[in-house]
Every structure is written in C-alpha cells, then in structure tokens.
Chains A and B, each alone.
Chain A
C-alpha cells in the first residue's frame, strides 16, 4: 500500500514544477510583450523604408536593414562553401580517426568562443592587420567564422540522414565519389543544409558585440563592401542605452524581434517538414 507521505511529496513536487515552468513561460512572454506592445503600434512601412535623421531621433532604419543584409550575405558566401565542404569531407571522405576527431574538436571549440573574442579577433585581424577598416567586409568575415560551426553541424546531420542505398546506387552506376556527392548526396541534403543557413541568418541578425568592433556604427547607407555600417542590433543597442529616443528604441526592438521570429519560424518549419521525418 502506498504511504500518504510519498503522494504528498509528489503533489508538492508537481506544484513546484508547474509553477516553475509556467513562471518561466510567463517571464519570457513578458519580455517579448513589453517590447512588442510599445513598439508595434507605431511601426509602419515607412519605418523600414526611411533613413534615420537627427542621429536616430527620427526617421527609419533602412540603412541598417541594408547593412545587416549585406553583412549576412558576405558571411554566408564565405561560410557556406567552407561548412558544406567540411561536412562532406567528414562524412564521405574519412572514417572516424585522428583527423576527424581533430576537426570536430576544432569545430566544437569554435562554437563555444564568445562573440566579444570574435570581435577582438576580427578587429585586430580584419580591421587593422588586413587593413579592411570598419566595414561590411570585416564584419561579414568575422560573422562567417561565427556561423561556420552551425553550418558544419547541420550539414553533417543532413548528409548523415541520407540512406546508404542512395550512395550504393550511384556507385553501382559507375559514379565516382565526387560525382556521387554532387549529384546524389548534396541535392538530397539540401533542405537540411538550407535550414542551417536560415538558423545562421537568425543568429547574424541578433549579433552585436562582435560587429560593433568590426563593422563600425555609421548611420549612413553603405555604398560598397568597404563602407562601415550599423546593423539593426547595434542600432537598437545604441538607441536603448543612449536614450536618444525611447520611441525609436522600442520600434527598432520590435522590428528586430519580428525579423528574428520570422526567420526562426521558417527554420523550424523547414526542420520539421524536411529533416525530422527522414528516418
């Protein structure tokens, strides 16, 4: 027979767990709600399409959006081939051994490096040593290093999920390893790889510390990859801390949250639709 004490403990535990979980959700919602409720009402199309005036007191965020997009594009152009190449190498061209362990260790470590360290590195390497100055290029290359581990691991997962049969069929038809990769593996792995790319885009939008030190904080519309820019997150950070305009800060924050939510919802949807149902 069950003693009352055990069931009492369970009841208490259940209450605690429910309280803990619900309060977590509540706080998270509060955080989102605060920014969205103050920022959304005044958010309009002109905000996204106009340029800032008077140091950000008025106007919109167009240069920030353009700058963020350009910077993310540079990062993706560099990191995607490197990431996919690494995944292909790990899964198709080696067995588990010293080299692959070393590469994985390097990738895992890189994933753990904090963004301020990337900022220091990007500053001394790209901005100063390679003389690229504060620019979309410096920021984009630094960001590429930051998203590389994500692209490697999602690509690897995508390639891993492809059944052996596909490869066997390709080889039996006389295909070389590389041909197999190009014509069979990659096309099938594309949705998973694409998901990794989208996740990286989400990360890039929110990145701040590393970009302040490498991309600069200019309010102007960029004219080339060597232009300094202020990304959306950096603009929000500056507005929020300097009290230039709380209204603008909330609007920018709302725009930022919406953008990130949008990107991540797409990634999640892709993940569920194409990747999770493979097995």
Chain B
C-alpha cells in the first residue's frame, strides 16, 4: 500500500513537470472574439495539416479579453471583431478579413428588405408585429446576443446608435445559436456574422442593398467590421509564419469560401498595419 502510494506520487510529479515543460513549448495560442474563433480554427486546422509539428490553440473569450490577452502575453495572438480603441493602439494589428453583419429572418418570412430605420425600430421594441412592416399579422420575436459580445457591440454601434435594444428580446450566447433560433421560429429576427449565414436563414437587404461581397467591398453595405489579429510587438518565429499563411491566397480563399471578405494582397509582402 505504501509502495503504490509513493509510486503514484512520483507519477504525479512527472506528469506535472512534463506538463509544465510542455506548456512553455506549447505552440501558438490564439484567443479572443468568438465571431473570429470558428474562422481562426479553420485556419489553424489547415495550417496544422501542412505543418504537423505545430500546435495552434484557439479559444474564445470575447474581443476585449482577446486584446487584453495579447497585451498581457497570455496569448500569442488576440482576435478582435471590432476596431481597436485608442488605448489599445500600441498593438501590432493585422486585418485578416472583413466581416459583415447580416440581419436575418426565417426563410418563411415574406419580408426581404428593410431600411436601417425600420431595423432600429424593430429592435428597440417600437414595432412589434410583422404586419406593421407589411408582413403577416404575427408578433416579432427579437433574438439578441449577450452583453459583452463583440457582434452585439458592433450591431449596437452601427444600427441602434443611441437607442437601446429591447429588454424583451431573447438572448443566445453564440452566433450559431442565434441562427438556430431564427431558423426554427417563423416570427424571429436576429443579426449574425455574414460568414455564418446559410440556407437555414435569410439575410435581409438593407434599403435595397444586398449583403454580398461586391457591396461590402464597394462600401455600399455599411454594416462591416474588421476581423483583426493583434500582437504585442512585431511577429517573429512561428507566429510570423502562421500570419504569413493567414494572408496567403490559399488561406484567404478558405475564408472567402466561408463567407468572409478577403483582404489579401497577392504580392506576398510583409503583414502590415
């Protein structure tokens, strides 16, 4: 009994020590916005399949937490789905793609176009039936992201401006969950990263402007936000290699396929501000 006990103890010690060593060799940690997260995971998956010895850990936590993590060196790369605040400007910033926010409704909903003012009055709770917008006499069910979400902050900033989103709205804590609710409920309306829109939901035109790549690049569709990778200082070593990969045509094509707007320059120069 005593022998096995000390054996267990030494095993634990070994596991602990190798664990600690592992951590310092661990690889790259990418943390931050949950909107950027799935795309970062895809990029990481692709990168790791080309470089089997590398390890890239992607985790969420929100844009603010990601920026803080980058500044504190808790993560190698921070992800942000909003532009940086003045106090965060000392960081090295790389825009990896542009993302639009789409206003989504259920495919069965006959409405396919709303003006920004109409969207605002719907989400503030001033308009509560679809009839008032020219649709069916049914109640409007609002679906919102939770407080602290970068997507919600962008929505608040671009669409709501000074007005408050109605407290009656349903709240879901991921983009995917919002899509789920809207696809299941014919009366629901929500907002979502354009890259995550699929045929289960319908993206509305805003004042006649369709949220597609052409309109985003030309600036006609205004609900656009940058997906950023931020670091403290110039990228070096493996991080630099990964960032170069992220801007490579292969990676950008991958992002474009998922619905993001690519930003790559094809001449292969240094990632810059």
The chain A residues found within 8 Å of chain B, CB to CB, are: 53-55, 77, 134, 137, 182, 216-220, 223-228, 238, 241-244
Contacts and interface: CB of A to CB of B under 8 A. Distances in A.
Given A77-B8, A241-B177, A243-B180, A137 B59 contact: no
Interface in B47-104: 55, 57-60
Contacts of B1: 182
B27 to A, nearest CB: 9
A219 B18 CA distance: 22
Contacts of B174: 238, 241-242
B183 to A, nearest CB: 7
Nearest to B1: A182
Given A218-B57, A242-B174, A224 B23 contact: yes
B20 interface: yes
Contacts of A182: 1
Contacts of B267: none
Contacts of B19: 137, 224-226
B45 A53 contact: yes
A98 B12 CA distance: 35
The interface centre, meaning the residue of A134, A137, A219, A220 with most chain B CB atoms within 10 A of its CB, is A220
A241 B18 contact: no
Contacts of A216: 59
A223 B55 contact: yes
Interface string B20-46: 101100100000000000100110010
Contacts of B55: 220, 223
A52 to B, nearest CB: 9
Contact of A225 (B15, B58, B59, B175): B15
22 contacts: A54-B45, A55-B38, A134-B59, A182-B1, A217-B59, A217-B60, A218-B57, A218-B58, A218-B59, A226-B19, A228-B57, A238-B174, A241-B174, A241-B177, A242-B174, A242-B176, A242-B179, A243-B176, A243-B179, A243-B180, A243-B183, A243-B200
Given A182-B1, A241-B177, A243-B180, A223 B59 contact: no
A242 B177 contact: yes
Q: What 8 pairs across the A-B complex have the smallest Cβ distances?
A: A242-B176, A224-B22, A243-B180, A224-B19, A225-B19, A226-B23, A241-B177, A226-B19
B12 A223 contact: no
Contacts of A137: 19
A216 B55 CA distance: 16
A242 B60 CA distance: 15
B258 to A, nearest CB: 10
Interface in B162-186: 172, 174-177, 179-180, 183
Contacts of B172: 241
Contacts of B45: 53-54
Q: Is the interface of A mostly helix, strand, loop or mixed?
A: loop
Interface residues on B, range: 20 to 34
Contacts of A225: 15-16, 19
B22 A223 contact: yes
Contacts of B12: 77
Contact of A244 (B20, B58, B176): B176
Given A134-B59, A218-B57, A241 B41 contact: no
Given A77-B8, A219-B41, A227-B22, 9 more contacts: A55-B41, A55-B42, A220-B55, A224-B15, A226-B23, A241-B177, A242-B176, A243-B177, A243-B200
Contacts of B179: 242-243
Contacts of A53: 45
Given A220-B55, A224-B23, A226-B20, A241 B176 contact: yes
The interface centre, meaning the residue of B1, B16, B23, B172 with most chain A CB atoms within 10 A of its CB, is B23
Nearest to A183: B1
B177 A220 contact: no
A65 B41 CA distance: 20
Given A224-B18, A226-B23, A244-B176, A54 B59 contact: no
Contacts of B58: 218
A116 B18 CA distance: 31
The interface centre, meaning the residue of B19, B22, B38, B42 with most chain A CB atoms within 10 A of its CB, is B19
Contacts of A217: 59-60
B176 A228 contact: no
Contacts of B42: 54-55
Contact of B180 (A218, A223, A228, A242): A242
A244 B177 CA distance: 9
A106 to B, nearest CB: 25
Interface in B1-16: 1, 8, 12, 15-16
A210 to B, nearest CB: 17
